[in-house]
Structure 1
Amino acid sequence: MNPTVARLTVRGLLGRRRGVLLLVVPALLLLLAVLVRTANGRDHDIAVQVLGTLALGTLVPLLGLIAGTGAIATEIDDGSIVYLLAKPQPRWKIIVTKLVVAIGCTTVFGALPTYLAGLVLYGGTDGLALGYGLGALVAGAAYSAVFLLLGVVTRHAVVAGLMYSLIWESLIGNFVSGARTLSIQQWGLSLARTVADPGAITADVSLPVAVPLLVLVTLAATGVAAVRLAGFTLAGEE
């Protein structure tokens, strides 16, 4: 961890329009949870729909995209990355620091609101809130790593991230069962199912498959991002 890089990354994420989105999106989730609970009372199926489809399926990847790409893509695009690269420090440390900040953002603005929304919708019964909170936490970490990598390798990181989230996970994943094995959302759901009471949460990927894939993808994306950043010159070009 590099404290200076971390401070600059936090300032960049929270001081721009991204900061507004990071605050507004979870606020809307919590507001919706209050409205749904008020209108329908404690309903398991509705809680699962809100927490699984909206929170884990939409909010968490969106926040991962905002935090992951925002942690480095803007610096590469505007050329300010050269100031970091000019410092005598390993490039991998820059990547790791930015990833830690991005994961912190998805935890604070994604996993925590998901857990709180679960408590509002269903209380602590069946471990539903805790399960989805944990699922959002681990999925947010993986999304952050993948989208941080996209921020390093392409200038169209946001578009590529949206294509993965909307086309692969939401569209193809709904019609092709095999595609769900490579879905970060399903990996998060697998851990959520393990924490919750039996039958409270369903997932299409088993835990022995989900955990290794989560670890592998997160570490691999981080490693490749560090290698690619190491190939940048002070002009920001490979």
Structure 2
Amino acid sequence: MKSLFLITLRRVLSPARLVMTGGLAFAPFAVTALILAVDEGASLGNFETFILNGMLAGAIIPLATLATARAGFGDEIGDRTLANVTLTPYSRWKVVLPKLLAVTLVPAVLIAATAALTSHLAYGADFTATWAVTLGAVAAVILYSTLFLWLDLATPHAIGIGLAYIVVWEGLFSRFIYGVRFLSLRSYSLSITHGMDERRLPGGDHTALGLSVVVAVAVVAVLFALSVRRLRTMDVP
């Protein structure tokens, strides 16, 4: 398991992925710093709507995790080396788990850093707010990484379907169609942030903190099980 983790981590840390993920992660902090430099009295409501909800949760986190999740199985499927892994005597969950940990670790660290710095700057060093935003962002990274890792196993068109999911489902449907939020990973991560600090993201129809955590854990468990099952049953070239 350790060797699989390190091999996958090396793929995630390739220069191209690292530049892409790091650039995406840095964007919310850069935009927030620029806004505050121009207007020190910028509205917190606008910050939460456009930076936290729209930019960080709605675009940066899913795009960053889509890029890194590809290193889990997508690269090996693409270059036809997955058989080297599946022919080993490991149980399939012992293959999926280290790969999931590797593709989650890097974006989790980068996103946690930018979420903490951005919220610390915007909320004037409010520790509770910073902690809430950071944990909500990390929860989103875990959810999206698990989803996109499974998607890479489920279809050869994971990138296209993933982008469509981000734009159409998370970007449009979950915001404007009532009831879709119950099937939105972004909504549950924002509910975790709101549940930890109810001053943040007020006015939204948030799910209770306890329920959000339970659903998030259940989603990760189900997607992990689906990934294991798919790896066990798929035809490996």
TM-score (norm 2): 0.91
Q: Which residue of 2 aligns with 1:34?
A: 33
Distance 1:170 1:24 in 2: 21
Work out whether 1:47 is the aligned partner of 2:47.
Answer: yes
Are the counterparts in 1 of residues 68 and 103 from structure 2 also a CA contact under 8 Å? yes
Q: Which residue of 2 aligns with 1:150?
A: 151
Identify which range, 123-132 or 16-25, moves more after superposition. 123-132
Q: Which residue of 2 aligns with 1:21?
A: 20
Q: Which residue of 2 aligns with 1:116?
A: 117
Q: Which residue of 2 aligns with 1:103?
A: 104
Are the counterparts in 2 of residues 149 and 222 from structure 1 also a CA contact under 8 Å? yes
* Number of residue pairs aligned between Structure 1 and Structure 2: 233
Q: Which residue of 1 aligns with 2:226?
A: 224
Offset, 1:124 = 2.8
Amino acid aligned to 1:153: A
Offset, 1:16 = 4.7
Are the counterparts in 2 of residues 114 and 132 from structure 1 also a CA contact under 8 Å? yes
Distance 1:155 1:67 in 2: 16
Q: Which residue of 2 aligns with 1:68?
A: 69
**For residues 83-110 of structure 1, what are the alpha-carbon distances to aligned partners after superposition, in whole Å with 9 as ceiling and x for unaligned?**
1122221111111111111221221122
Q: Which residue of 2 aligns with 1:183?
A: 184
Offset, 1:79 = 0.8
Identify which range, 125-134 or 164-173, moves more after superposition. 125-134
Amino acid aligned to 2:185: I
Amino acid aligned to 2:226: V
Q: Which residue of 2 aligns with 1:59?
A: 60
Offset, 1:140 = 0.9
Are the counterparts in 1 of residues 12 and 71 from structure 2 also a CA contact under 8 Å? yes
Distance 1:130 1:46 in 2: 20
Consecutive unaligned residues of structure 1, counting only runs of 5 or more, are none
Identify which range, 204-213 or 145-154, moves more after superposition. 204-213
Consecutive unaligned residues of structure 2, counting only runs of 5 or more, are none
The runs of 4+ residues in structure 1 deviating greater than 3 Å are none
Distance 1:199 1:126 in 2: 13
Amino acid aligned to 2:59: T
Amino acid aligned to 2:221: L
Distance 1:132 1:44 in 2: 13
Q: Which residue of 2 aligns with 1:199?
A: 199
Distance 2:234 2:178 in 1: 39
Q: Which residue of 1 aligns with 2:212?
A: 210
**For residues 129-158 of structure 1, what are the alpha-carbon distances to aligned partners after superposition, in whole Å with 9 as ceiling and x for unaligned?**
222211111111011001000011101111
Q: CA RMSD in A?
A: 1.7
Amino acid aligned to 1:214: A
Amino acid aligned to 1:199: R
TM-score (norm 1): 0.91
Amino acid aligned to 1:114: A
Q: Percent identity?
A: 24
Amino acid aligned to 1:19: L
Offset, 1:126 = 7.4
Distance 2:38 2:93 in 1: 49
